[in-house]
Amino acid sequence: MNLKLKIVLLAILISGSACQSQTKSTVIQKEVSLTIKAEKVATWEGQDVFHYILDNGTMQVEMTNYGGIISRIITPDKDGKLENVVLALDNIPDYFTKNGPYLGAAVGRYANRIGTASFTLEGETFEITKNNGENTLHGGAKGFGVKVWKPEVYKTDKAVGVKMTYLSVDGEEGFPGNLETNLWMELTSNNELKLRFESTTDKKTVVNLTNHSYFNLSGITGDVRDHELQIFADAITPGGPGQIPTGEIKLIAGTPFDFQTPKNLGAQLDALGEGFDHNYVTKRANSSELKKIAIVKHPESGRIMEVFSTAPGVQLYTANGFNNFAGADGISYQSHWALCLEPEAWPDSPNKPSFPSTSLAPGEKYVHEIVYEFGVED
Q: Give the other-Cβ count within 10 Å of 27's Cβ.
A: 9
**Cβ burial, residue 218 (10 Å; 0-12/13-18/19+):** buried
Intra-chain end-to-end CA distance of the chain, in Å:
11
How many Å apart are CA 310 and CA 8, to the nearest integer?
33
Catalytic hit among 173, 342, 344, 373? 342
212 is catalytic: yes
Residue 213 annotated as binding site: yes
Residue 212 annotated as binding site: yes
Residue 95 annotated as binding site: no
Beta strands in 104-204 (DSSP E): 105-107, 113-114, 118-121, 124-127, 136-137, 150-155, 159-168, 179-188, 192-201
Residue 95: closest CA among 125, 65, 120: 65
138 is catalytic: no
Q: Which residues pair with 52 in a beta bridge?
A: 38, 63
Residue 113 annotated as binding site: yes
How many Å apart are CA 66 and CA 46, to the nearest integer?
12
96 phi and psi angles, rounded to 5 deg: -60, -35
How many Å apart are CA 76 and CA 301, to the nearest integer?
9
Residue 329's SS3 state is: helix
Q: Which residues pair with 165 in a beta bridge?
A: 150, 182
- Please enumerate in sequence order all residues whose Cβ is within 8 A of that of 347, keeping only pairs 6 or more positions apart, or say none: 112, 113, 114, 237, 239, 243, 244, 245, 279, 315
Residue 293's SS3 state is: strand
How many Å apart are CA 369 and CA 269, to the nearest integer?
29
CB 336 within 8 A of CB 319: yes
Catalytic hit among 138, 212, 227, 298? 212
CB 87 within 8 A of CB 105: no
Which residues are catalytic, by number? 212, 342
Annotated binding site for beta-D-galactose: 112-113, 212-214, 277
Annotated binding site: 112-113, 212-214, 277
